[in-house]
Copies of this chain bind each other. A is one copy, B any other.
């Protein structure tokens, strides 16, 4: 088995068991892709046909809002899956964009390949169930934070949970994600340091 796919196989095996044969079948159907910083995996109006596992680097899922401003909905870093599920599930054009924030390496799992794998490796249903449930729980917590924490509190919490991450993304993207202005984020960071 190629070591290129070690990250994804290791992540799957944290959640379910996978025989060597199954791991071999899986990795034979995956595609590894290098993505340059600022490159888009998905643009508004395109159909999202792939689910992406981030091996290295960072992505953002964003939407261009009615005022023409880019609103960051989600980040995806190492060992996270990122896709645009509404389009991925429906096959309809997406209203969102997915873009590399850093040079990155991803594992690409096409929709039809995923369906094929579910038939051949039932354990993957379990794995993706667990991944989706975690992602869902994380979004509910995020909605809780948006409603109930101030911008400063959200930043402090985010910084505590992902200390390295705050250094990796441009301030304006992090500010967008947190729903605060870049100027306010800059003040918060200055206060801390």
CB within 8 Å of B: which residues of A? 61, 63, 65-66, 71, 73-74, 85-86, 89, 96, 118, 122, 125-126, 128-129, 132-137, 139-144, 146-148, 179
CA distance A141 to B86 in the complex (A): 9
B118/A63 in contact, CB under 8 A: no
B136/A132 in contact, CB under 8 A: yes
Subset of 18 A-B contacts with CB under 8 Å: A65-B147, A71-B148, A73-B140, A73-B147, A74-B143, A85-B137, A86-B140, A89-B134, A125-B126, A126-B129, A128-B133, A132-B133, A132-B136, A136-B139, A139-B140, A139-B142, A139-B143, A146-B146
Identical chains in the assembly = 2
A85/B148 in contact, CB under 8 A: no
Q: Which residues of B contact A63 (CB under 8 A)?
A: 144, 148
Smallest beta-carbon distance A141→chain B, Å: 7
Q: Which residues of B contact A129 (CB under 8 A)?
A: 125-126, 128-129, 132
Supposing A147-B179, A148-B71, A179-B147 touch, asked if A85 and B140 sit within 8 A by C-beta, the answer is yes
Supposing A129-B125, A132-B136 touch, asked if A144 and B89 sit within 8 A by C-beta, the answer is no
A137/B89 in contact, CB under 8 A: yes
